[in-house]
Amino acid sequence: MVRIGCAGFPQRQAVCFQTLDVVEVQATFYKPPQVKTVQRWRETAPASFAFTMKAWQLITHSAYSPTYQRAGVDIPPEKMNRYGSFQPTAEVREAWERTRAVALGMQAEWVVFQCPASFQPNPGNLRNMRAFFSQVDRAGLHFTWESRGDWPVPLVAELCAELDLLDCVDPFVRHPATRGTVYIRLHGRGSYDYKYSDEELDQVAALCLEYDEAWVIFNNTAMWFDSALLRERLQSPHT
């Protein structure tokens, strides 16, 4: 099974629902929408259509990240260091509770934990990850982790096996560290303002066929066109 889609809605929702296999919701990273909003999306979409979503940035990113300007939270100066990096704080736990509620409301197939490049494999971050993913109530949700930092592939594979995570990658950066299912995010090569070549799309198609199940999310300016071209290559009609 291969599902091909876009990060966010590049066209009207109705068009996306009838054309794509999946949409990875981006708004949930910045400021999660209300549960009733995503429930309406789920009710409007065809039953075969899939949603995935990014976890709220309060779980993964420091409160000093510029993306917090869109978070809609008022953080006192003395609590700035209590957010992000999977820390064992009430703030991170509450952020997960809200993320989980939205994920269940849209019946998300995957929750994507995208870490900043500054999140490095130091002892503190490893300890936080292990505590968070081993203790959090998943409510049946599936997790995929996009490390983006300078993480050794064997360590990524070890953590994914230990914590029941799927390695989320851009295959033009490195090969996935987990098997069976693959979750691919294509951000453009060198720039978000990018269109993938025929040769590059052939490489993605070949990679998908190495797995039992593949999720491919385009997150570049040409996402709508590239997703259509990849679908043609895989001869995977929307079902």
**One-character DSSP codes across 20-50:** -SEEEE-HHHHSPPPHHHHHHHHHHS-TT-E
pLDDT recorded at residue 72: 87
* Residue 121 located in a structural domain: yes
Instruction: Give residue 81's domain range.
Output: 2-234
* Residue 169 located in a structural domain: yes
Q: Which residues contact 175 (CB under 8 A, 6 or more apart)?
A: 153, 169
- Locate 137 and state its tokens: 């109530």
Which amino acid, one-letter code, is at 239?
T
pLDDT recorded at residue 235: 75
* Residue 89 located in a structural domain: yes
Residue 58 is inside which H or E element, if any? helix 57-60
* Residue 162 located in a structural domain: yes
pLDDT recorded at residue 239: 34
Q: Is the pTM of this model over 0.85?
A: yes
* Residue 239 located in a structural domain: no
* Residue 76 located in a structural domain: yes
* Residue 55 located in a structural domain: yes
pLDDT recorded at residue 66: 93
How many structural domains compose the chain? 1
At residue 37, φ and ψ (nearest 5 deg) are: -70, -50
Looking up tokens 């060198």 gives: 190
* Residue 19 located in a structural domain: yes
Closest by Cα among 123, 132, 131, 62 to 100: 132
**In whole angstroms, what is the distance from residue 229 CA to residue 81 CA?**
44
pLDDT in tens, the chain (239 residues): 999 999 999 999 999 999 999 999 999 999 999 999 999 999 999 999 999 999 999 999 999 999 999 998 999 999 999 999 999 999 999 999 999 999 999 999 999 999 999 999 999 999 999 999 999 999 999 999 999 989 999 999 999 999 999 999 999 999 999 999 999 999 999 999 999 999 999 999 999 999 999 999 999 999 999 999 999 999 754 43
Any idea what the CATH number is for the domain that residue 99 is in?
3.20.20.410
